[in-house]
Amino acid sequence: MSRERYSPSEIEPRWQAFWERDQTFRTDEDPAKDKAYILDMFPYPSGAGLHVGHPEGYTATDIVARHLRSKGVAVLHPMGWDAFGLPAEQHALQTGTHPADTTQKNIATFRRQLKSLGFSYDWSREVDTTDPAYVKWTQWIFLELFERGLAYQDEIPVNWCPALGTVLANEEVKDGRSERGGHPVFRVPLRQWMLRITAYADRLLEDLSKVSWPEGTRVMQVEWIGRSEGAEIAFEVEGHPGTRIEVFTTRPDTLFGATFVVLAPEHPVVERITTPARRAEVLAYAARTRGRSERERRESKDKTGEPTGAFAVHPLTGKLIPIWIADYVLWGYGTGAVMAVPGHDGRDFEFAGKFGLPIERVVRSAEVEASAALEAAFESDGIACHSGPYDGLTTAACKAAITAELERSARGRKRVEYKLRDWIFSRQRYWGEPFPIYFPVRCEGDPRTLPESAVSIDFSSPRAVDRSELPLRLPDLEDFKPGEDPAGPLARAKDWRFFQKDGQWFARETNTMPQWAGSCWYYLRFIDPKNEQALVDPAKAKAWLPVDLYVGGAEHAVLHLLYARFWHKVLYDAGIVPTEEPFGKLVHQGMILGEIEYTAYVAEDGTRVSRRDVQEESTPDGRPEFREITTGRTVVPTRVEEAQVTKVGTDFVLAAEPTVAVDARAHKMSKSRGNVINPDSVVQQYGADSLRLYEMFMGPLEATKPWSTASIAGVRRFLDRTWAVCTRTLSPEAPPDGLERLLHRTIKKVGDDLEGLRFNTAISALMQLTNELFGLEAPPRRACETLVLLLHPMAPHIAEELWERMGHPPSIQRVPWPAFDAAMLTDDEVEVPVQVNGKVRGRVKVPTAASEDTVIAAARADENVARHLDGKQLVKVQYVPGRIVTIVVK
RNA sequence: GGCCGAGUGGCGAAAUGGCAGACGCGGCGGAUUCAAAAUCCGCUUUCCAAAAGAAGUGUCGGUUCGAGUCCGACCUCGGCUACCA
């Protein structure tokens, strides 16, 4: 047997080529086998190439896929590209390269990088969301939504971002700025395509109980949907017969405590009811609110508002209460109007306090008098008081009683509200799927040559492109710039936009779909990627759905995962997919941070300031700034080397200046910080198997973990040792008993750990086995073979190579997973610790099957144990078989 | 402010309520070497010169023969979210 060194750069490309030639990972569609659909969230192929975060989740699923295949399961494990999106288009703007070219180039890089890591994808099923053959079906699903009344147009205030030249969805806006790029965002009204996701709100909520997802993710979706039950109550406006203000409340039981009404400044009734004396101030306030960005509205938490001068009639008492406008009432939620109950709502309490409005208690707790003053809003449930006939009712009973009374007198009714809004589905961009929709045009002559003003498009009569004409392709453009008119760049492609049919001119929709569209259903296309007749063959969908394991980042906890569930349910209703939910088990891999960095704070004169004396502030433009608390002077964070710091207590301090504590933290990898690790260079230096193994060995899959280049050398050393052991002259003898038992234990542990996605402990078990074999001059062949079989899912290249060198034909993927014998999991003898009053005072070696009496006798005979028992009174003696002897004395 | 998660050696971490720190990194010592790198062997939670021993899983309290693990209160860090009536 050869004794050359382990050389990943030589063996890895060879096995990758073998797998490709051999079609080793072609999906097994044998209906007699159990199936497993193992899916990664497909990446956006950015120009930066693969990030070390990608291979984390991808390695995890790859291990599961390889493990299951070796256990005889038919596995579907595909990969593809979420390739529409802004960066390719922005790159096009800067360089003049067509986004399709940039995208294909980036995909090629990603594909090469993923292949270099040895992932066992069935590459024959690769999908690309920008491929017209894929776009066809994305558009087909849109038509399905359109025909079901789930896609509609609306003129609504949207998040217009001039810098990006596009409208953003609420979830793409963070703190009043675009999530990508941080540009300011303004609210302007614009015609948009909307998807009626709210029609599915209840099902999206209820069916969360059917999936096996992380609890935190489920909670986030529940809160995002934000279902609340309450009542809609009508308030008449005094002096305006027929004008009613509807409010939504979850606390109809507090109706008697409503001392004023507040409208959102955008509320249309404001115009009508404001008294002449208040008009100027009210309109000015409303205009100011409209001009303020979301960010500004949020930054000043201080309550502001203006009285309209009008009064509402309390529906139960008939009392007149003032009507105000204030921006803490949101036009987008409920009815855009609230009955303010300052006694029992913190926001109303604050507002009433600021403007001197009356605060009344209408709920009390059991221990409190109805007359007790309110120091703050009492928001808990309790017992009604100062509520006329409802006094004494519990909150729940009072809600029901008051709602019933309002319904009886037609002044209110039960109502369910959701935080979830309909989904703004259009973007004013080039690089996305065109909508398969067109509109009739009124004009004299050819609209392609006429000025805009001479062409009138009837947006109120959208028509669907015939399904036989799909895909509707994007026109080739020279100029992708969005222009300051939010109509989008497609509006300039007049030859594409306008066309004639039956002698009549029509205009195509010039909006495009958001990036989410393609990623909403890609997991379906993987099942049947080449089908030209249907988006997926129903029999195949039935065979593979739902996805059994879905691994991806927690940043998609609401958006992608909610949108995909929504589309899936629509397709379920259409009879296209056989399950109500797309994804069974979901796991989020944790973030990989950069290497730990030590930061000292240095003042201008060079003195170092302890981090305990430093306070972080932010400058007006949002950048962080640091000040010494005592003097107020600014200090600059400065990187220091690990060798210069030492730990004192819980603090890291400068070794040379131990009073100065420094920050020790790992940060997110980012270009600007310069701590990005490139997977290519890790593969080059250590090999793909080492990278895979290291990422799995770092810690639990779901944990956030800092990168450590030094630690990769450790797993590489493990592979070197494994190589060395398995290329020794192997003994044909059966392993000795102790080793045999270790083998069985390791088989069980690795199998269990892989099933539980505990890759770090599986690897440590393999390290222990290798260490054990490393001490043997001629390790037993069967032991080495077992080691390699167990290692294969995690480090496939070295496993294939060693397996072949041991004289077996490839591929190791086709060799069944080793079995263990339960009788071999324990040794004949165990060492049992002996505790006296909770402290270990000795250990005894006893036969595993020994009786309690035997073990206790042996324990008491131990010299050191006996010393601690001497002269004491025995209270209790207990033997937990195989684990521990406990003795309690007095 | 709300929700979720996490606090264990110098570092990443491990531990069905039963020997805290497996495995790995780093460090120290030794072997090999002209020397170094690489490799191999040993040690490595803290206190004590060492043995015996004691302390020790963010803090305080509780349940238990026994708590890193279960319960209650709190502190710190990270992520998400943010006036949703």
- Among chain A residues 847-876, those with CB within 7 Å of any atom of strand B: 864, 876
Confidence band for A295, pLDDT divided at 50, 70 and 90: low
Q: For A310-329, what is the mean pLDDT?
A: 94
The 10s digit of each residue's pLDDT in A171-207 is 566 666 676 667 777 777 788 899 999 999 999 999 9
With the C-alpha atoms ordered A326, A332, A334, A335, is the resulting torsion angle positive or negative?
Answer: positive
Q: Strand B contacts (CB < 7 A) among A residues 592-621?
A: 596
A642/A781 same-domain check: no
* More confident position, A181 or A769: A769
Q: How far apart are CA A401 and CA A795, in angstroms?
A: 67
Of the two residues A273 and A299, the one the predictor is more confident about is A273
Domain check: are A700 and A776 in the same one? yes
User: At CA A474, angle to CA A509 and CA A577, rounded to 5?
Assistant: 80
* A385-442 residue pLDDT tens: 999 999 999 999 999 999 999 999 999 999 999 999 899 898 888 899 999 999 999 8
> Quick check: A6 pLDDT over 50?
yes
Asked if residue A698 and residue A733 are part of one domain, the reply reads: yes
Spatial contact of A261 and A233, defined as CB atoms under 8 Å apart: no
Q: Which positions on chain B have an atom < 7 Å from some protein CB?
A: 3-5, 10-16, 18-20, 22-26, 39-41, 52-55, 65-67, 78-85
Same domain? A310 vs A338: yes
**Mean pLDDT, range A89-104, rounded to an integer:** 86
The nucleotide lying nearest A555 (C-alpha to C1') is: B80
Least confident segment among A59-68, A106-115, A808-817, A869-878: A869-878
Confidence of residue A43 (pLDDT cuts 50, 70, 90): very high
A597 neighbors A665 (Cβ within 8 angstroms): yes
The angle, 0 to 180 degrees and rounded to 10, between the axes of the packed helices A99-116 and A8-22 is 110
Please count the structural domains in chain A: 4
Show the beta-strand stretches assigned E in A197-314. Answer: 228-237, 240-249, 260-263, 306-313
Task: Kindly report, residue by residue over A693-738, the tens digit of the pLDDT.
Answer: 999 999 999 999 999 998 999 999 999 999 999 999 999 999 999 8
In a domain, A454, yes or no: no
Contact flag, residue A487 CB and nucleic strand B, below 7 A: no
Full domain range(s) for residue A337? 229-415
Q: CA–C1' distance A819–B14 (Å)?
A: 25
Average pLDDT over residues A156-174: 70
Helix A796-805 and helix A688-697, axial crossing angle in degrees, nearest 10: 120
Distance, angstroms, CA A839 to C1' B19?
A: 10
Q: Tell me, what's the ipTM?
A: 0.94
Residue A149 has pLDDT above 90, yes or no: yes
Binning pLDDT at 50, 70 and 90, where does residue A466 land?
A: very high
Both A885 and A800 in a single domain?
Answer: no
- Residue A468 tokens, joined: 């036989």
Distance A774 CA to B41 C1' (A): 13
Give, in order, the Cα–Cα distances in Å from A81 to each of A19, A126, A574: 22, 8, 26
For residues A815 and A690, state if they share a domain. Answer: yes
CATH assignment at residue A802:
1.10.730.10
Token pair belonging to A718? 């493990």
Helix residue spans in A498-609 (DSSP H) = 516-519, 522-525, 538-544, 559-573
Q: Is residue A181 part of a domain?
A: no
Tell me the longest C-alpha to C-alpha distance in chain A. 114
Q: How many CA atoms lie within 13 A of A359 on its CB side?
A: 23
- Compare A4 and A678 and report the one with higher pLDDT: A678
pLDDT of residue A2: 45
A97 Cβ nearer than 7 Å to chain B strand: no
Assigned token pair, A379: 């928001």
The answer to whether residue A272 sits within a structural domain is yes
User: In this structure, are A815 and A833 located in the same domain?
Assistant: no
pLDDT band at A96 (very low <50, low <70, confident <90, very high): confident
Contact (CB, 8 A) for A799 and A15: no
Of A61-70, A160-169, A363-372, A594-603, which gets the smallest average pLDDT? A160-169
In the numeric block, which tokens belong to residue A887? 């003795």
Indicate yes or no: strand B within 7 A of the C-beta of A697.
yes
Whether A769 maps to a domain, the answer reads yes
Angle at A767 between CA A761 and CA A771, to 5 degrees: 150
Average pLDDT value for chain A: 89
pLDDT in the model for residue A523: 97
Q: Is the CB of A717 under 7 A from strand B?
A: yes
- Is residue A776 located within the same domain as residue A637? no
pLDDT recorded at residue A454: 82
Which candidate, A553, A645, A555, places its Cα nearest to that of A596?
Answer: A645
| Residue A261 domain-assigned (yes or no) | yes
| Whole-angstrom distance, CA of residue A220 vs CA of residue A557 | 7
> Does residue A721 lie within 7 Å of nucleic acid chain B, judged by its CB?
yes
Positions 262-321 of A with beta carbon below 7 A from strand B are: 264, 297-298, 300-301, 303
**Claim to verify: residue A385 and residue A271 sit in the same structural domain:** yes
Of A617, A636, A668, the position where a domain reaches its end is A668
Whichever domain contains A267, its CATH number is: 3.90.740.10
Q: Which ranges of A269-312 does DSSP label H, i.e. alpha helix?
A: 269-273, 279-291, 294-299
Q: Indicate yes or no: strand B within 7 A of the C-beta of A228.
A: yes
| Boundary residue ending a domain (A640, A668, A696) | A668
Is the residue at A516 inside a domain? no
CA of A644 to C1' of B27 (A): 15
- Judge if A733 and A767 occupy the same domain: yes
Q: What is the mean pLDDT of residues A805-820?
A: 96
Confidence of residue A1 (pLDDT cuts 50, 70, 90): very low
Q: Is residue A837 part of a domain?
A: yes
CATH number where A877 lies: 3.10.20.590
Nucleotide nearest A706 (Cα, C1'): B12
Does the CB of A698 sit below 7 A from strand B? Answer: yes
Confidence tier at A598 by pLDDT (50, 70, 90): confident
Residue A275 inside a domain? The answer is yes
Of A540 and A596, the structure prediction assigns the larger pLDDT to: A540
Q: What is the mean pLDDT of residues A154-168?
A: 76
Residues A628 and A722 in one domain: no
Q: Which nt is closest to the CA of A230, judged by C1'? A: B85
Question: Is the domain of A813 the same as that of A861?
Answer: no
A56 backbone dihedrals φ, ψ, rounded to 5°: -65, -60
The more confident residue out of A660 and A742 is A742
Among A668, A691, A715, residue at a domain's last position? A668
Dist. CA A260–CA A320, nearest whole Å: 9
The neighbour count for residue A623, using CB atoms within 10 Å, is: 8
The pLDDT assigned to A298 comes to 57
